[in-house]
Amino acid sequence: MKKVLFLSILTIALILLSSCASQNTKVTRVSDDEIPDLSGRWNATDSRDVSQQMIMSMLSSGWLPNFRNEEDRAPRIILGKIANLSDEHIETDIFMKDIERELTNSGKVKFVSAKNERTYIREERNDQQSYASDETVKALANETAADYMLMGSIKSLRDVVENQQVITYQVDLELVNIETNEKVWLETLPKNKLIYHKKVKF
């Protein structure tokens, strides 16, 4: 009898606790500049900051004026693979989209659609051959080829002592001439985070 009474009280207490916990949930919207770094892991702020710094370096490098002088036009770039070689899950697609946005909006280069994106565009162009008017149909085999491919990797290194750790994210990017395989620009950007965990006392 006592055991049944104890279990009943325990069940009621758990229900009350869960009810209180759900009522204490609070959501606050924050701007991109105010995103807190809760876990110390790679986050949206890191992705945005690193992409801005890397593309700024890339567009201020000597390869760009050299190309313009030789070709008298803006270079065309395609984004290759950016590999996640770190010890945690990183959404590289978000980082790649940040890079693509920075490059495209700079107005200094032209950006060519990636391989997976071109598939859908080609399907649309093929449909146009049968269903679009002669005045508006887009020609086949008239795509713009890229001059350079941008690719790289994200790595991480952890240094842990007791309740502190430093995580270093190293982002490497390189720009390669597609025709000659020449690397015309390389950049490495480290991002360090010091994380302190409070010890729980009982």
- pLDDT value of position 160: 80
What CATH number has the domain spanning 37-196? 3.40.50.10610
| Measured distance CA(200)–CA(202) in Å, rounded | 7
C-beta neighbour count of 112 within 10 angstroms: 19
Q: Where are the domains of the chain?
A: 37-196
- pLDDT > 60? residue 2: no
Distance CA 114, CA 48 (A): 20
**How does pLDDT run across 107-157, given as a tens digit for each residue?**
999 999 888 888 888 899 999 999 999 999 999 888 889 999 999 999 999
Q: For 44-56, write each residue's pLDDT tens digit.
A: 889 999 999 999 9
